[in-house]
Structure 1
């Protein structure tokens, strides 16, 4: 399978992927990485050859037919030390490992290689989440993964040969989920929602937190572009939003999401706009789901928001979801003063939050490898 892309400067390039075969495996076994990356070098042994040919590995070639890298999925992409900590618990992540040819590393090829591999994986496996582990000293690889939308979820130690090494586990959500609650579906916004989104931003009767980033003016074409941008930002874990609909009718009654989302700082602000029909009945239900998702899935520690000082209904709704009023007031986007609220991860264990939503994703499959791997190492 071939994937084309355009380099900076307009040059058309391509990556070709296929299941690992003996010819490509023998080339990879001859690769040697310089210290400190030498732990990724394989041995020209029957054991390592069998590992590469176990059905979980794929080769990557340039459009000229030159072998440039490989990747693996399933247990071959896992590191033993991650099992006791539950890194590999559950079946909603596809584990993946990347390997770039030694003379390609450190030259800026990593981010594009990762992007093209993920295009192939999306087409073949349709994963909802991708997960990888990388040695913590490999900062250039970590930077490449971050550029591709991966974010850290934890760290652990594992024996590799005779060395005890620290690894960082990273994850990337491929598909923005639908959050299903008792009465609502919080779904990704679509281009057809543009007109309704603009109306909500202008005329919403309930306003909680800042205006959704980028949703300004009355230009429907610009709103469609912004909806597309939000979809891309979901993968990079930056500001993104859901449309709020009632289960019985796919009519947009609100929009809710994260403003100022920074997983590395473990914080975001909740932004919510609701029309009159859903103002009192559904606001707490939607906010509770988004709070719980941020704490459980994005690894956030705190979420904040604010409401106009005289909007007693909104204050009551936020407090019903366990938001606590912060000290003082902050300026709202308008000239009015606003009261600031926050909520922390300590409240996640409360049953009212733990059962706030059900995630709905598309199905995916994953090839299972046979032996534990050494993590990803391109850069």
Structure 2
């Protein structure tokens, strides 16, 4: 079972140093100083960031951003820990936390269509593909993404329904 807590500034700086291999290198983040200067990503004051540990090892982070009727969900796994099942556990923990912080709001994310490993992780955690492929500009050119959604048990048709007897 992974341990977790709200991310510290030092942990956010460390997360920005992670480097991924091959096609995953596009997930490398800019420096934390750049994020702070532009107040985006991990330095966005409206972004809630949680870090996850296996003993002393920082295995990943997740973030939540209240986006009106839904909550945007992001996740990053330490390059040395990818493919070891940490993402599914982290996603489950963050879903439960999102329901405490943003009751009744579903989570959504965007994932590159070629990232089958991440898509399987999200599906195991209850996300489903929501709609058609989205093509959007990124820092690395145009990318194709799936929007995935995890609804709340009582969330239906754009509103929270009262629980029945």
CA contact (8 A) 1:16 1:63 kept: no
- SS of residue matched to 2:80: helix
The partner residue of 1:36 within 23, 43, 48 is 23
Match of 1:171 in 2: 149
Q: Which has the higher helix share?
A: 1
Higher relative contact order (CA 8 A, sep 6+): 1
- Pair 1:131-2:108 in alignment: yes
CA contact (8 A) 1:175 1:361 kept: no
- More displaced, 46-55 or 110-119? 46-55
Match of 1:120 in 2: 97
Match of 2:161 in 1: 361
The partner residue of 2:118 within 119, 128, 141 is 141
Please, what is the CA RMSD of the aligned residues?
2.4
State the 1:116 CA deviation.
1.5
CA distance in 1, matches of 2:32, 2:96: 32
State the 1:54 CA deviation.
2.0
What's the TM-score once normalised by structure 2's chain length?
Answer: 0.82
Deviations 1:294-343 (A, max 9, x none): xxx5xxxxxxxxxxxxxxxxxxxxxxxxxxxxxxxxxxxxxxxxxxxxxx
State the 1:144 CA deviation.
0.6
Within 5 A, what are the aligned runs for 1:48-67? 48-49=35-36, 50-51=39-40, 52-55=42-45, 56-62=47-53, 64-67=55-58
CA distance in 2, matches of 1:119, 1:175: 12
What's the TM-score once normalised by structure 1's chain length?
Answer: 0.38
The partner residue of 2:139 within 146, 150, 161 is 161
What 5-or-longer segments of structure 1 have no aligned partner?
A: 1-12, 76-87, 178-292, 298-357, 363-379
Match of 1:25 in 2: 12
CA distance in 1, matches of 2:104, 2:76: 20
What 5-or-longer segments of structure 2 have no aligned partner?
A: none
State the 1:45 CA deviation.
5.4
Q: Which has the larger radius of gyration?
A: 1
Change (3 A) 1:147 1:170: same
Match of 1:16 in 2: 4
Matched length: 157
Moved over 3 A (4+): 358-362
